[in-house]
Chains A and B, each alone.
Chain A
Amino acid sequence: METYYKPEDLHKFQEIGKEAPELAKKFFDYYNAVFAEGDLTGREKALIALAVAHTVQCPYCIDAFTQACLENGSTQGEMTEAVHVATAIRGGAALVHGVQMRNIAQKLSM
């Protein structure tokens, strides 16, 4: 079956550096620095990344950060709550724009 997304392609991420290697290096250095332990732990960052991955719906990120969350000791309950955080923000963002709708509707309406 043909598919755009193949799990094994995640391992090829570094190959993006074959063209524009300097830009790739800057990106991956930044990326690794972002996920290093800081004021937030690696575990907290992985949960945030998991939630964001669902928001942007990146299957590569969902794969990578599901594994990262498990290896950072997060339970599936915690990971599910993180997905709900993504859902609440994504859904909430749609809903709060309803204020725009209401403003415009009220301007146009008698």
Chain B
Amino acid sequence: MEARPMLQGPTRGPKKASMATASFSRTLSRHGIRLERGETITLQINVGLLCNQVCRHCHLDAGPNRLELMDEDTFNEVAAFAQRVGFKTIDITGGAPELHPNLISMIERLSPLAKRLIVRSNLTALEDTHPDRFIDVFRRHGVVVVASFPSLNHIQTESQRGKGVFKKSIKALQRLNAVGYGKEVPGLELDLVSNPTGAFLPPSQAQAEERFRRFLKDKWGVVFNHLFTFANVPLGRFRQWLHQSGNLGHYMERLISSFNPCAVEGLMCRTLLSVAWDGYVYDCDFNLAESLPMASGKTHISEMQGPPKPGTPIAVADHCYTCTAGAGFT
């Protein structure tokens, strides 16, 4: 699949040729790697770009002024597809899913269709809307909550996510713990996701998890199951910030020089199908952000009988260096 040139400057506006010296697709070729799908076992549903936060690392440019939300007809197509296929995992993301007016009915409809149902939360959307009502629904359906928690330092957290986020996030985590999330019994899974608060790569996941576990427990009595560290993808608002802060060239160099061919095998795009709020499908959420359709062309979920077959090439562009940097992004 031919790589698209990396965009220069903000994503909204004129597109210029890439300054990256080695395109991702050429790097794959040099290593003799073809990036192809394996068995698709996860359906990731982006229910909309409406969000209560304006995080600086957001690859989707989500925010309070984004009104794109998945309508009922589109959701019905998505649910029908999920029922036809029988995914192992369904993953609801956004924006802030809690701001979608139909999130609860979506959870009720999707929960019987997969062994594992994930809802991603920035924690403040949970805390600011109907926390007890949502948490009760999550608990009853055994929803896996994957929550954003970038840093143990409140100044760094708020530099990325906005004022007051740190304190609200702790409160939301304590609420989730109170009903059993993050504890061995009753087995309600609560995972944290940490993105770096700037133009640098994340630390070792294992070491970060150990530090987060100790610090959150000792200071706030908060427990969780797993911590995932993810690099920031140079798209959307994060790309704008990289450009405005003069960090874009350096960050791209960092990603390119950290390319790890061993990370390709475990890439999430190999086993995941992403569907946008409008029903169009992508190989991953980052390709969705970039409006980069699958190799077979722009496809709506209503046109698909089943997931792409194993061996189908995956659409790539230079933002893919993010997922193959260091230990990778799975």
By a beta-carbon cutoff of 8 Å, the part of chain A in contact with chain B is: 41-43, 67, 70-73, 75-77
Known contacts A75-B152, A75-B153, A76-B155: A70-B207 contact under CB 8 Å: no
From residue 235 to 258 of chain B, which have CB atoms closer than 8 A to chain A?
none
Interface of B is mostly: loop
Contacts of A72 in B (CB 8 A): 203-204, 207
Smallest Cβ-Cβ distance to A72: which chain B residue = B203
Contacts of A42 in B (CB 8 A): 204
By a beta-carbon cutoff of 8 Å, the part of chain B in contact with chain A is: 151-153, 155-156, 196, 198, 200-204, 207-208, 211, 229
Instruction: Report how many A-B pairs have Cβ atoms within 8 Å.
Output: 32
A-B contacts, 11 of them at CB < 8 A, read A41-B207, A70-B200, A71-B200, A71-B202, A73-B202, A73-B207, A73-B229, A75-B156, A76-B153, A76-B155, A77-B155
Whether the Cβ atoms of B156 and A76 lie closer than 8 Å is yes
Contacts of A76 in B (CB 8 A): 153, 155-156
Whether the Cβ atoms of B200 and A73 lie closer than 8 Å is no
Contacts of B204 in A (CB 8 A): 42, 72-73
User: A93 vs B75: C-alpha distance in the bound complex, in angstroms?
Assistant: 69
Interface of A is mostly: helix
Whether the Cβ atoms of B208 and A73 lie closer than 8 Å is yes
User: A42 vs B155: C-alpha distance in the bound complex, in angstroms?
Assistant: 24
User: A85 vs B155: C-alpha distance in the bound complex, in angstroms?
Assistant: 22
For the complex of A and B, the 3 pairs showing the least CB-CB separation, nearest first, are A73-B203, A75-B153, A70-B200
**Nearest chain B CB to A80 CB, angstrom units:** 11
**Nearest chain B CB to A102 CB, angstrom units:** 42
User: A42 vs B207: C-alpha distance in the bound complex, in angstroms?
Assistant: 10
In this complex, which of A67, A71, A73, A76 has the most chain B Cβ atoms within 10 angstroms of its Cβ?
A73
Whether the Cβ atoms of B207 and A43 lie closer than 8 Å is yes
Smallest Cβ-Cβ distance to B198: which chain A residue = A70
